[in-house]
């Protein structure tokens, strides 16, 4: 390897609270408020929490520690993205190339997720202006679909949705350009308290709503929490619980590695990581179960809420909640304020996750090519604007869904499978256990060593096999895809493959030079 | 379509909040809240001792 050239130091987090909130911002997303309650309700109600908490304990928290530990270890060697992290943990020529998944997948998710976050910004704006107040459910649906569809000008100008995407993207680029402590940490320090404050206020309002002819908040809570003991014997319920834990903690995206790479060797990750996970769980279990479903059941009854939920979490969160806010007791501005709080908290949940998803690519270009962060941020913004237009343009042709399937679902499991086996078979569990406890403020119970060594690798192998058989193979064959979507999905797939190829070429180029442009933590004075 | 679904919703029976549901809800919410409070109390107490900065 060529001689290493060291230039400026890698950035650092300013405070531990800032780091926890930024990591929690990465994890807390739309799924906490929209996906979790529906998953619980459909998979045994209260009894869903038994496999859910077991999965959190034996899979979620250990895997989260794995990613924190890998990230901090990589950062010590000057690497903030998966290719470098894998390379230093597994001395094999192929290791760095496997890290391409930790670059391209979060970038793809970043691009389409930011489109969705832009829609939420739009609905935050429309809540202030009261644009959809007074509309019927069908009219709100038309309002949303016209907003999402650039080709549909029936309600909005076709480009309005893309305009909000552009504003959201500009904000993200600005945050990324300001760096770790000056941008991402600041966003979390301001954004996360607002998110939790709004969520707590909304939960109180929802739970104190009067009953209607069709439902009540208590019925909503009963819908989520009523135990169905027979569900415990159903393997699908356990898989659903493990899947929910996996996705809610943002595992397998590569973003945790990058955030943790800005830590030093003696910075605690055991307690800090656990705090992040618990913050996410608070948002999911406490707040996620007390807003959307109880509100929707109050106004639509159980089957009405389920019918809307069956069309997807996003329709549920937008259309159902838009009708809920219109129906709140009191003058219209009360509903508008509540709606603003709802969409804005989802917007914050989304934008903090988006920023995290862009971070691996940010770190890669800064670490390996020495490009200043503002230029990298602008470059990623330009790429996202271009490909975001493709996401919007071919939205009805399944472009977004295809990326969500491969980059946002299957890819994460594949990435997590690779990283856990790198720890298990290459780096060594015992060595990693010692690494995990460097500077630790928490002695992790030895029970977790067994989990890391045996349970997590076997579980992820099983999860990958299960996903492969039940979801990936049918998705690869495009089973059940509407004929009019085949072309759009192939286009999305082709672009993603092209991005992987470009990523591989860039990794080769980066490691051929052997140059590191940012000073690793150990070198700092 | 949604309007039609909402009409059928009115006729559907809603579940009642039973003791079992309340127990699961309270235990789950309580467990998560306790863990969160414990973590933050510990982080803040260590932060107070060390000045809150990462180093």
Give A143's pLDDT tier (boundaries 50, 70, 90).
very high
> How far apart, in whole angstroms, are the C-alpha atoms of residue A73 and residue A38?
37
Measure in Å the smallest separation between the Cα of A274 and chain B Cα atoms.
Answer: 7
Q: Give the chain B residue whose CA is nearest to the CA of A521.
A: B55
Is a pLDDT exceeding 60 seen at residue A247? Answer: yes
Count of residues for chain B? 55
Is a pLDDT exceeding 70 seen at residue A158? Answer: yes
The tokens for A276 are 């992040």
Residues of A in contact with B23 (CB under 8 A): 46
> How far apart, in whole angstroms, are the C-alpha atoms of residue A119 and residue A289?
23
Question: Which pLDDT value is given to residue A1?
Answer: 46
Question: Which pLDDT value is given to residue A305?
Answer: 83
Measure in Å the smallest separation between the Cα of B23 and chain A Cα atoms.
Answer: 9
Cβ of A300 within 8 Å of Cβ of B3? The answer is no
Interface test with B, best of A28, A51, A213, A303 (most B CBs within 10 A): A303
Question: Which pLDDT value is given to residue B14?
Answer: 78
| DSSP 8-state code for residue A15 | B
Query: Backbone dihedral region of A5: left (phi > 0), alpha (psi from -120 to 50 degrees) or beta?
Result: beta
The tokens for A308 are 């809307």
| Nearest partner of A423 among A293, A257, A246, judged by Cα | A257
Burial class (CB in 10 A: 0-12, 13-18, 19+), B55: exposed
First-to-final CA distance of chain B: 58
Question: Which pLDDT value is given to residue A39?
Answer: 86
CA dihedral A503, A519, A27, A82 (to 10 degrees): 30
Cβ of A300 within 8 Å of Cβ of B9? The answer is yes
Question: Which pLDDT value is given to residue A7?
Answer: 57
Measure in Å the smallest separation between the Cα of A186 and chain B Cα atoms.
Answer: 14
Is a pLDDT exceeding 90 seen at residue A519? Answer: no
Cβ of B46 within 8 Å of Cβ of A301? The answer is no
The backbone torsions φ and ψ at residue A519, rounded to the nearest 5 degrees and listed phi first, read -70, 125
Interface test with B, best of A9, A11, A13, A16 (most B CBs within 10 A): A16
Percentage of chain A lying above the pLDDT 90 cut = 81
pLDDT digits over B3-52, tens only?
Answer: 433 444 444 567 889 999 999 999 999 999 999 999 999 999 998 777 66
Question: Which pLDDT value is given to residue B15?
Answer: 85
**Reported pTM:** 0.93
Question: Which pLDDT value is given to residue A304?
Answer: 85
Cβ of B25 within 8 Å of Cβ of A216? The answer is no
Query: Backbone dihedral region of A179: left (phi > 0), alpha (psi from -120 to 50 degrees) or beta?
Result: left
Question: Which pLDDT value is given to residue A43?
Answer: 87
Region A228-233: mean pLDDT is 92
Of A214, A271, A319, the CB nearest to B9: A214
Measure in Å the smallest separation between the Cα of A15 and chain B Cα atoms.
Answer: 5
Give A489's pLDDT tier (boundaries 50, 70, 90).
very high
Cβ of B29 within 8 Å of Cβ of A304? The answer is no
Is a pLDDT exceeding 90 seen at residue A181? Answer: yes
Name the residue with higher pLDDT: A520 or A213. A213
Residues of A in contact with B41 (CB under 8 A): none
Is a pLDDT exceeding 60 seen at residue A224? Answer: yes
Cβ of A279 within 8 Å of Cβ of B36? The answer is yes
Question: Which pLDDT value is given to residue B2?
Answer: 39
> How far apart, in whole angstroms, are the C-alpha atoms of residue A389 and residue A112?
10
Percentage of chain A lying above the pLDDT 70 cut = 97
> How far apart, in whole angstroms, are the C-alpha atoms of residue A310 and residue A227?
21
Question: Which pLDDT value is given to residue A384?
Answer: 98
Question: Which pLDDT value is given to residue A270?
Answer: 97
Cβ of A17 within 8 Å of Cβ of B17? The answer is no
Cβ of B6 within 8 Å of Cβ of A300? The answer is yes
Cβ of B25 within 8 Å of Cβ of A215? The answer is no
CA dihedral A150, A153, A159, A162 (to 10 degrees): -50
pLDDT digits over A431-463, tens only?
Answer: 999 999 999 999 999 999 999 999 999 989 998
Measure in Å the smallest separation between the Cα of A97 and chain B Cα atoms.
Answer: 32
Residues of B in contact with A279 (CB under 8 A): 36, 39
Is a pLDDT exceeding 80 seen at residue A390? Answer: yes
Of A225, A285, A301, the CB nearest to B10: A301
Question: Which pLDDT value is given to residue A343?
Answer: 97
Question: Which pLDDT value is given to residue B7?
Answer: 42
Cβ of B6 within 8 Å of Cβ of A223? The answer is no
Question: Which pLDDT value is given to residue A315?
Answer: 81
The backbone torsions φ and ψ at residue B53, rounded to the nearest 5 degrees and listed phi first, read -85, 150
pLDDT digits over A106-136, tens only?
Answer: 999 999 999 999 999 999 999 999 999 999 9
Give A482's pLDDT tier (boundaries 50, 70, 90).
very high
Residues of B in contact with A300 (CB under 8 A): 6, 9
Rounded mean pLDDT of chain A? 93
pLDDT digits over A319-370, tens only?
Answer: 889 999 999 999 999 999 999 999 999 999 999 999 999 999 999 999 999 9
- CB within 8 Å of chain A, chain B residues 26-45: 27-29, 31-33, 35-36, 39-40, 42-44
Of B12, B22, B54, the CB nearest to A303: B12
Measure in Å the smallest separation between the Cα of B34 and chain A Cα atoms.
Answer: 9
User: CA dist A521 to A6, A176, A313, A518, Å?
Assistant: 12, 21, 42, 9
| DSSP 8-state code for residue A521 | G
Give A316's pLDDT tier (boundaries 50, 70, 90).
confident
Measure in Å the smallest separation between the Cα of B50 and chain A Cα atoms.
Answer: 11
DSSP letters spanning A223-279: HHH---GGGGG-HHHHHHHHHHHHHHTTTTSSHHHHHHTTS-TTS--HHHHHHHHHH
Question: Which pLDDT value is given to residue A273?
Answer: 96
B4 touches A at CB < 8 Å: no
Question: For the CA atoms of chain B, what is the radius of gyration?
Answer: 22
Question: Which pLDDT value is given to residue B8?
Answer: 43
Question: Which pLDDT value is given to residue A424?
Answer: 97
Residues of A in contact with B10 (CB under 8 A): 213-214, 301, 304
Region A473-500: mean pLDDT is 96
Question: Which pLDDT value is given to residue B11?
Answer: 46
Query: CB–CB of A28/A353 below 8 Å?
Result: yes
Q: Give the chain B residue whose CA is nearest to the CA of A271.
A: B39
> How far apart, in whole angstroms, are the C-alpha atoms of residue A224 and residue A38?
8
Question: Which pLDDT value is given to residue A34?
Answer: 85
Query: Which residues are bridge partners to A9 per DSSP?
Result: A519
The backbone torsions φ and ψ at residue A94, rounded to the nearest 5 degrees and listed phi first, read -80, -20
Query: Backbone dihedral region of A331: left (phi > 0), alpha (psi from -120 to 50 degrees) or beta?
Result: beta
Of A17, A47, A263, the CB nearest to B47: A17
Of A213, A263, A272, the CB nearest to B10: A213
Cβ of A218 within 8 Å of Cβ of B31? The answer is no
Residues of A in contact with B8 (CB under 8 A): 303-304, 307
> How far apart, in whole angstroms, are the C-alpha atoms of residue A276 and residue A358?
19
């Amino acid at each position: 390897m060529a001689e290493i050239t060291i230039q400026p130091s890698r950035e650092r987090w300013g405070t531990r609270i800032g780091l926890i909130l930024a990591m929690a911002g990465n994890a807390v997303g739309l799924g906490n408020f929209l996906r979790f309650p529906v998953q619980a309700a459909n998979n045994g109600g209260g009894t869903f929490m038994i496999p859910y908490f077991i999965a959190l304990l034996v899979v979620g928290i250990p895997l989260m520690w794995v990613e924190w530990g890998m990230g901090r270890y990589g950062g010590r060697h000057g690497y903030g993205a998966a290719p470098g992290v894998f390379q230093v943990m597994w001395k094999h020529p192929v290791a760095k190339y496997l890290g391409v998944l930790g670059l391209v997948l979060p970038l793809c998710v970043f691009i389409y997720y930011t489109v969705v976050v832009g829609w939420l910004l739009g609905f935050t704006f429309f809540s202030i202006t009261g644009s959809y107040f007074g509309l019927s459910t069908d009219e709100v649906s038309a309002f949303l679909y016209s907003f999402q569809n650039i080709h549909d000008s029936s309600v909005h100008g076709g480009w309005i949705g893309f305009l909000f995407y552009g504003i959201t993207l500009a904000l993200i680029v600005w945050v990324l350009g300001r760096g770790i402590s000056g941008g991402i940490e600041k966003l979390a320090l301001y954004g996360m308290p607002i998110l939790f404050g709004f969520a707590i206020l909304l939960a109180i309002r929802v739970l104190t709503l009067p009953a209607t002819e069709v439902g009540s908040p208590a019925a909503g809570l009963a819908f989520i929490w009523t135990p169905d003991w027979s569900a415990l014997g159903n393997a699908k319920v356990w898989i659903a619980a493990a899947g929910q834990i996996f996705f809610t903690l943002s595992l397998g995206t590569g973003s945790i590695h990058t955030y943790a790479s800005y830590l030093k060797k003696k910075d605690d990750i055991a307690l800090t990581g656990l705090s992040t996970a618990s913050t996410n769980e608070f948002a999911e279990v406490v707040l996620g179960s007390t807003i959307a479903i109880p509100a929707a059941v109050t106004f639509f009854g159980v089957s009405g809420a389920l019918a809307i939920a069956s069309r997807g979490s996003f329709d549920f969160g937008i259309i159902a909640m838009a009708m809920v806010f219109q129906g709140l007791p009191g003058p219209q501005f009360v509903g508008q304020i509540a709606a603003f709080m709802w969409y804005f908290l989802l917007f914050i949940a989304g934008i903090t996750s988006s920023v995290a998803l862009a971070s691996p690519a940010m770190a890669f270009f800064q670490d390996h090519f020495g490009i200043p962060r503002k230029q990298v941020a602008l470059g990623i913004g330009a790429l996202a604007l271009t490909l975001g237009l493709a996401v919007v343009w071919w939205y009805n042709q399944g472009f977004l869904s295809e990326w969500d399937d491969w980059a946002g679902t299957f890819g994460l499991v594949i990435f997590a499978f690779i990283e856990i086996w790198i720890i298990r078979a290459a780096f060594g569990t015992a060595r990693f256990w010692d690494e995990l406890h460097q500077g630790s403020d928490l002695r992790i119970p030895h029970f977790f060593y067994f989990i890391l060594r045996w349970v997590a690798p076997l579980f992820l192998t099983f999860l990958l096999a299960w996903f492969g058989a039940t979801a990936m193979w049918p998705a690869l064959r495009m089973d059940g895809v509407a004929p009019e979507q085949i072309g759009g999905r192939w286009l999305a797939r082709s672009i993603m493959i092209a991005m992987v190829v470009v990523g591989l070429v860039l990794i080769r180029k980066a490691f051929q030079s052997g140059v590191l442009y940012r000073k690793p933590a150990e070198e700092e004075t | 379509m949604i309007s039609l679904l909402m009409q059928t919703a009115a006729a559907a029976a809603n579940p009642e909040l039973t003791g079992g549901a309340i127990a699961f809800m309270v235990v789950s919410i309580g467990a998560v809240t306790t863990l969160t409070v414990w973590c933050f109390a510990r982080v803040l107490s260590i932060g107070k001792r060390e000045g809150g900065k990462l180093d």
